[in-house]
Amino acid sequence: MTQSITPTGSQGISKTIMNGLGRHGVVLALALLLLFGAVRYEHFLGLFNISTVLRYNSMFALVALGMCFVIMTGGIDLSVGSTAALGSVVAALLSPYGVIIGTLGGVFAGLVIGCINGLIVTRLRILPFITTLATMLAASGSALLLSKNQSVSVSYESGFTELGQGDFLNLPIPAIIAGVFYIIASLVLNLTSTGRTVLAIGGNEDASRLMGLRTDRIKFLVYLASGGLAGLAGVILASQFGAGQPIEGVGWELFAIASVVVGGTLLTGGVGSVGATLAGVLLLGLIFNILNFENGLGWISLSAYWQSVIRGLFLLVVVILQARLSRPND
């Protein structure tokens, strides 16, 4: 009954700075990490290392991009890891027919899962968490069934592996693909009515519906896109490692969520950035890379499992910062 009215007027300067840090913190952290690596390790900024990091992380970047849009509407997509595994198996099975057929097949498998997610969430009004948990299990099972529970070798004659292993103008092809999608996504988010609607739904879904925005259509589209991008990530996985991997993709959804959150996108929806999500992916990816370099120096020998610990700590720090700095009024 009694409305508490939030204080209005100009924000304090310190608060503005804090807000900025909360939003661009990931870029700053990425820059610091790059600087640290460049100073400490000889070949860190070498072409080979950069190319390796980008090639490997482009899969995660694609999955995180889809996740970013889902989260901006206030939803979640837990099925992306299994969907990528399914996509890799389908692509590997179709790889003898060429790179185009293999790619389309893998992406199509992802779109099917995304379509199912979208329909269940918008038509049956089941919570995204439950819906995508169920399709995560189903997609994983389908991948194992199709592959008969073993990795499926891709055809090397058809040129399918070029997609994941090849270069174009000295840049890894997967990184180019991911880059193109990030540019498109950024344009969609910032310049189109669809992008504005995505943020509006996450910000206040009731208000969006009362404004006549087609909330269900847009929500369907983000799940469809997330599925399709996960399928594409699976295609790159198969192409890069020469095999469809039915048991890969475990935990990818959590890595994607972590990247999105580190990038400053609110899990409650309504606020988000495509560029910061990419920075989040690279930040978490570089932690692994730097660990390898550190071991290479020969002074210490940290197990690869440390990367998870460090990534976890990063995630916690960012979430705590977000909670404490960005929204002091609420």
Partner 1 sequence: MALSLLSMQRISKAFGGIPALSAASLQIDAGEVHALVGQNGAGKSTMIKILTGYYRKDAGDIQFDGASFDVESPQAAQMGGISTIYQEINLVPYRSVAENICLGREKRRFGLLDWPAMYEDARALIARFNINIDVRQPLMNFNTATQQMIAISRAIGFKAKLVIMDEPTSSLDEREVGVLFDVIRQLKADGVSVIFVSHKLDELYQVCDRVTIMRDGQSVKTAAMADLTQLELIAAMLGRDIAQVSRHTTAFGDRTFQYQSGPEAPLLKVSNLRAGRKVLDVNFNMRRGEIIGLAGLLGAGRTETARVIFGEDQRQGGLVELNGVAFNPRDPADAIAAGLGFCSEDRKLDGIIPDMSVAENLTLVLLPHLSKAGIVDETAKAKIVETFIARLGVKCSGPNQKIRELSGGNQQKVLLARWLATNPDLLILDEPTRGIDVGAKAEIQSLINAMAKDGLSVLMISSELEEVIEGADRVFVLREGHSVAEFAHKDLSEQAIMQAMAYSEPATTAAGAAS
Given candidates 5, 39, 124, 169, which one binds partner 1 under the rule CB under 8 A? 5
Measure the CA–CA gap between 111 and 321, rounded to whole angstroms. Answer: 35
Using alpha carbons, list the distances in angstroms from residue 207 to 38, 69, 73, 214, 215. Answer: 48, 19, 13, 12, 10
Residue labelled with tokens 């099925």: 79
Q: Residues 40, 42, 46, CA angle at the centre, nearest 5°?
A: 120
Site string for partner 1, 267-306 (x = CB under 8 A): ---xx-----------------------------------
Count of residues touching partner 1 (by CB under 8 A):
33
Does 329 help bind partner 1 (rule: CB under 8 A)?
yes
Q: Exposed e or buried b for every residue in 169-200, given b needs 16+ CB within 10 A?
A: eeebbbbbbbeebbeebbebbeeeeebebbbb
User: Minimum Å distance from CB 178 to partner 1?
Assistant: 23
Measure the CA–CA gap between 293 and 235, rounded to whole angstroms. Answer: 29
Report whether 194 contacts 72 (CB < 8 A): no
Q: Nearest to residue 94, comparing CAs of 228, 227, 224, 238?
A: 238
Report whether 270 contacts 181 (CB < 8 A): no
Site string for partner 1, 221-260 (x = CB under 8 A): ----------------------------------------
| CB closer to partner 1, 24 vs 196 | 196
How deeply is 117 buried, as exposed, middle or buried, from its count of CB atoms within 10 A (0-12, 13-18, 19+)?
A: buried
Determine the interface stretch with partner 1 among 3-11, 35-43, 166-174, 250-258 (rule: CB under 8 A): 3-11
User: Minimum Å distance from CB 214 to partner 1?
Assistant: 6
Determine the interface stretch with partner 1 among 4-12, 33-41, 86-94, 99-107 (rule: CB under 8 A): 4-12
User: Minimum Å distance from CB 211 to partner 1?
Assistant: 5
| CB closer to partner 1, 218 vs 229 | 218
User: Minimum Å distance from CB 7 to partner 1?
Assistant: 6
**Considering only residues 185-214, where is the footprint of partner 1 by CB under 8 A?**
191-194, 196-197, 199-200, 203-204, 206-214
Which residues are near partner 1 by CB under 8 A? 1-11, 191-194, 196-197, 199-200, 203-204, 206-214, 270-271, 329
